[in-house]
Structure 1
Amino acid sequence: MKKLLTDDTELMLFGFRFLKQVLFGENSIPLQEAAAEKRRERVHDKSQRIEHEAREKRAAEQDDMYEDHED
């Protein structure tokens, strides 16, 4: 990693490998399972939080809607 940050040529070559993997499906950069699992957990936690906030917002909007009709 340090080599990528200090050597522009190495960074460029890594970029080429990354593009090959993303655009053409070549598996030139090995997947680190621990890092992938960590990302999956973060994404799952974030989606759960967003869903929870959306449910709360809908409930509050419905409460407000029915409170307005009570007058």
Structure 2
Amino acid sequence: MRTLDFCEQDVAQMTEGEVENLAKRLEQDDYANVFEGLRDWHLLRAIAFQRPELAEPYYYLLDMEAYDES
């Protein structure tokens, strides 16, 4: 079984262009198998938590919404 192959250091070194390419792949959703798409989704999610300024334009791909728990 293959595991995710990125780490915090990878996320810390990503550029805006790399994140844009990642988002384009997710938008096109043209993967050989579902696991490749899931890997990209998890990577974008990690970017959103660690470097939100890079992922902000692509939040719609993550279905992340603010919730008011009050």
Same topology, TM > 0.5: no
Q: From the two aligned structures, give the one with the greater helix fraction.
A: 1
TM-score class, shorter-chain normalisation, is 0.3 to 0.5
Q: TM-score, normalised by structure 1?
A: 0.33
More RCO (CA 8 Å, sep 6+): 2
| TM-score, normalised via structure 2 length | 0.33
